[in-house]
């Protein structure tokens, strides 16, 4: 495999399983709440709450990251229904972060933007290390190992 250059295009994929499961469960909830409403069965407030939770689940699934493309001077983040383009100059830092869930640590890549936003990329099929290497080549910055500690110190 050739080493990536600044002018090459790289594509990183995220898992399709999570969004599809959330979409299916949310659509079942919407259908169930519509059925309850039409049949007049059950409590009206509980039916509305089920509809709201199911709708929120659909919105979450549709905004989950599907693909990340690194092109010449921009980073393109594709969601299920939209795309977001980020210029190279808008990236302030990037780093690998960890999150503990049920005695299991899950690693993910976080990009910190100049405007203060953070974008997290979980379950990258190509691996976190390959994304970190591509981001280093793309931005020309080194991985910010202690970025979270430094930002916490500057706020205090």
The CATH number of whichever domain residue 55 belongs to comes to: 2.30.29.30
Phi/psi of residue 68, nearest 5 degrees: -130, 120
Burial 129-147 (b: 16+ CB within 10 A, else e): eebeebbeebbeeeebeeb
Is residue 62 in a domain?
A: yes
Is residue 1 in a domain?
A: no
CB atoms within 10 A of CB 126: 14
Phi/psi of residue 79, nearest 5 degrees: -105, 180
Is residue 5 in a domain?
A: no
Domain count, the chain: 1
Q: What is the domain range of residue 147?
A: 10-155
- pLDDT by residue for the chain (156 residues), tens digit each? 344 444 457 899 888 888 899 999 999 999 999 999 998 887 889 999 999 999 999 999 998 888 999 988 899 999 888 899 999 899 888 888 877 777 787 788 888 999 989 988 888 888 888 888 898 888 888 877 655 555 545 544
């Amino acid at each position: 495999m050739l080493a990536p250059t600044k002018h090459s295009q790289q594509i990183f994929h995220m898992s399709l399983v999570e969004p599809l499961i959330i979409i299916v469960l949310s659509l079942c909830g919407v259908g169930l709440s519509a059925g309850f409403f039409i049949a007049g069965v059950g409590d009206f407030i509980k039916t509305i709450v089920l509809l709201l939770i199911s709708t929120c689940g659909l919105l979450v699934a549709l905004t989950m990251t599907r693909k990340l493309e690194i092109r010449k001077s921009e980073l393109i983040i594709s969601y299920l229904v939209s795309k977001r383009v980020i210029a190279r100059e808008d990236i302030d830092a990037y780093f690998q972060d960890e999150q503990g869930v049920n005695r299991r640590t899950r690693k993910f890549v976080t990009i910190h933007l100049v405007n203060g936003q953070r974008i997290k990329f979980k379950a990258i099929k190509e691996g976190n290390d390959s994304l970190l290497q591509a981001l280093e080549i793309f931005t020309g910055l080194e991985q910010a190992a202690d970025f979270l500690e430094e930002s916490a110190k500057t706020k205090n």
